[in-house]
Amino acid sequence: MALSLTLRTSRAVLSKYKPSLLYLSYSDGVQVQRRYSHGKSVYKTEEAKKIRFYILNRFIEYLKNYDKILEKNFPTTMKTYRTFTDGIKYFSLDTVEYFKIVMMLNTAGGNYSKLLRREIELYHQMPKDMIKVAPTLIFSALPFALYFVLPLVYALPKQLLTSHFWTPEQREQFQIAYLKDRLLHNRQAFTIPNKFP
């Protein structure tokens, strides 16, 4: 009982004092503890609040302009990144449209006569595109894998990506190559023989 009374009185005495700052100092080789008490916290003053507000605003402005900083320092990397993110957007829109077409065709009375030419092309092309892009999208979703996937994928865009992810220059180049390939095979069908029987 005497111990609990002593503890209560020491708590009451300690609660009367303001929090103090304790630091160690050395004088004549002897360690001395000194206490300095102050009434107000350094972190709650108006100057400290202004400094915190200024630093926070500068950090937010930096984050807002971060993409511009990256574009200035790494233009080709940012162009590739933007092409990839735009490709994901276009691919997801076409995927949603594809599933709408599939649902419409699977309902009673759904047939090709109700579809537009672009929708029919999308209906036939999208399953191939989904299979072609699936590994790239799965690996790019892994943490920090995008740093390795993007250079690899854009090194071989015709083999690993669909037209959603191609740059306009690549799209034009690959369409010309595809047309030349088709004309090469068609030329043999339409050749006129030199000798008539």
DSSP β-bridge partners for residue 23: 34
Count Cα neighbours of 49 within 13 Å in the Cβ-side half-sphere.
4
Phi and psi, residue 26, nearest 5°: -115, 130
Domain residue ranges in the chain: 81-186
Nearest to 174, CA basis, from 187, 161, 185: 161
Q: List, for residues 48-105, the tens digit of each pLDDT value.
A: 788 888 898 888 888 888 888 888 898 888 888 888 889 999 999 999 999 999 999 9
The pLDDT-based confidence of 174 (bands split at 50, 70, 90) is very high
- Give CA–CA dist 76/82, Å, rounded: 10
CB-count exposure of residue 39 (10 Å: 0-12, 13-18, 19+): exposed
Q: How far apart are CA 8 and CA 158, in angstroms?
A: 80
Residue type, 155: A
Q: CA nearest 151: which of 101, 97, 80, 83?
A: 80
pLDDT digits (tens, 9 = 90+) for 120-130: 999 999 999 99
